[in-house]
Amino acid sequence: MKLLLCVSCYYSNNKTVIEVSDISQIIEISDKKLYSVYSLELEIIGTIDGEAKIRLNDIKKEIIKNIFIFKYSADWYSNNATIIYEPLGASKGSFVIKYRFY
């Protein structure tokens, strides 16, 4: 079972909180206000009770555990992105997604 969350914001600085469970989550982030996106800054900070895999589209992926920080900052030419969280034993915790499209 997977959980799909769509997050759409209309401000330059965006933030959302995700509660972790033992099911995979797909989080869509976007900024529909911008028409000419050229960059994305992303920071995910959280605490989980085990290990999990986190991916940004197919560009960056990491195995995370316990207290973690996942960062990405580079050229980006779309006003949306997909973050996939896959637990590898983690069942509790939360993380904050902060992002900005330019």
| Tens-digit pLDDT profile for residues 35-91 | 789 999 999 999 999 999 999 999 999 999 999 999 999 999 999 999 999 999 999
Distance, CA of 37 to CA of 66 (rounded, Å)? 33
pTM of structure: 0.84
Query: Which amino acid makes up residue 88?
Result: L
- Give residue limits of the domains in the chain: 2-101
Name the CATH superfamily, with its identifier, for domain 2-101: Spermadhesin, CUB domain (2.60.120.290)
Q: And the tokens for 79?
A: 């006003």
